[in-house]
């Protein structure tokens, strides 16, 4: 039976997307031989809406295991806008279904994070055969122990913190490194522990600025001339945690501060008199070649997706639970965020070695 498979990558990029694409393709060609065709969809759901598709050849997937980014390109097409008809008068859901039909697809693979999974589930509910694969450096997708891209980003963020130690020590400064993670703090937590940060600030554990300042002063009084704070971009203090998202944004705008890191740095310097600087590695955390771990994980995920196609088991999201590659129903995981529990083992580990969370 001939199979025609569409693949798209949506949302923010990360290392491991190409490795996953390669894993799917090689496994499909291995299992189905000449009875499979793979269609690359450009720029995520935007390409599906606008029928920007290309029939791929087996050699298109060679040499991409170690390459960062995605050969298909990616865009953010927010889930909340999927059923909204804008000024262009395009019915996005209708257009995606039409492209699926016009391309004669038997199934669609969507590589992405929470928003991508929500749209994938929407399409599954509309009758399309969809399989999701969990991509994000935030590691915040429900139902999977780990996402591809996460470990590489941890490696990069750890390297940033490592390098900050020497300059912070040389100048006797407090350095606040802002790490991606707007809702969940997994990346900041793991990189903070691996990089030897003195304080870790994540969205799930609201901080008290007085406690962070006291921790910096304590180190200074003990003769430690510098401190490193790993701060997730979505971090909030105890007062902000009581506010709604729009209220927090307005409060920060009124104060002239757009990020938690700048606010923390400014307040610590004012309170302690210690010179404080902010470092924002930003999109470097998304770039470059995937680590060996992510290459293996991505390949495993891709191969498992091919198995789901063979079984015609659709409406699923590939996952790793413990040491087992498996799958969840899309409708059970779409729209759910995996937050860091306050009593997570890694949080406990950090506390046991003296890392402050400012709470």
List, by residue number, the catalytic residues.
Answer: 138
CA distance 270 to 183: 28
C-alpha atoms less than 13 angstroms from C-alpha of 344 in its C-beta half-sphere: 17
Write out the chain in H/E/C secondary structure: CCEEEEEEECCCCCCCHHHHHHHHHHHHHHHHHHHEEEEEECCHHHHHHCCCEEECCHHHHCCCCCCCCCCCCCCCCCHHHCCCCCCCCCCHHHHHHHHHHHCCCCEEEEEECHHHHHHHHHHHHCCCCEEEEEECCCCCECCCCCCECHHHHHHHHHHHHHHHHHHHHHHCCEEEEEECCCCCCHHHHHHHHHCCCCEEECCCCCECHHHHHHHHHHHHHCCCCCEEEEEECCCCECCHHHCCHHHHHHHHHHHCCCCHHHHHHHHHHHHHCCCEEEECCHHHHHCCCCCHHHHHHHHHHHHHHHHHHHHCCCCEEEEEECCEEEEEEHHHHCCCECCCCCCCHHHHHHHHCCCECCC
283 Cβ contact partners less than 8 Å away, ≥ 6 residues apart: none
């Amino acid at each position: 039976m001939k199979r025609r498979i569409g693949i798209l990558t949506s949302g923010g990029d990360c290392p491991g997307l190409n490795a996953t694409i390669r894993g799917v393709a090689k496994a499909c060609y291995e299992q189905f031989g000449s009875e499979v065709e793979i269609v690359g969809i450009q720029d995520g759901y935007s390409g599906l809406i606008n029928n920007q598709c290309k029939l791929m050849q087996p050699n298109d997937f060679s040499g991409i295991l170690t390459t960062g980014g995605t050969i298909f390109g990616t865009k953010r097409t927010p889930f909340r806008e999927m059923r909204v008809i804008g000024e262009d008068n395009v019915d996005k859901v209708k257009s995606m279904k039409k492209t699926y039909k016009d391309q004669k697809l038997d199934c669609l693979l969507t590589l992405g994070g929470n928003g991508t999974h929500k749209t994938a589930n929407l399409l599954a509910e509309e009758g399309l055969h969809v399989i999701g694969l969990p991509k994000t450096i935030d590691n915040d997708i429900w139902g999977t122990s780990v996402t591809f891209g996460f470990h590489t980003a941890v490696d990069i963020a750890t390297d940033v913190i490592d390098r900050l130690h020497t300059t912070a020590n040389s100048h006797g400064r407090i350095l606040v490194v802002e790490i991606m993670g707007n809702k969940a703090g997994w990346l900041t937590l793991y990189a903070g522990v691996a990089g030897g940060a003195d304080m870790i600030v994540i969205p799930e554990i609201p901080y008290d600025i007085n406690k962070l300042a006291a921790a910096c002063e304590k180190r200074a009084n003990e003769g430690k001339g510098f401190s490193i704070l790993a701060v997730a971009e979505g971090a909030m203090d105890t007062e902000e945690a009581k506010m709604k998202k729009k209220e927090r944004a307005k409060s920060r705008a009124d104060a002239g501060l757009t990020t938690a890191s700048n606010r923390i740095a400014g307040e610590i310097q004012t309170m302690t008199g210690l010179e404080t600087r902010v470092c924002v590695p930003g999109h470097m955390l998304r770039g470059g070649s995937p680590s060996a771990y992510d290459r293996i994980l991505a390949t495993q995920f891709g191969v498992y997706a091919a198995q789901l196609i063979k079984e015609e088991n659709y409406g699923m999201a590939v996952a790793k639970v413990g040491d087992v590659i498996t799958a969840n129903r899309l409708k059970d995981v779409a729209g759910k965020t995996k937050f860091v529990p306050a009593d997570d083992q890694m949080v406990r580990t950090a506390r046991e070695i003296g890392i402050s969370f400012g709470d």
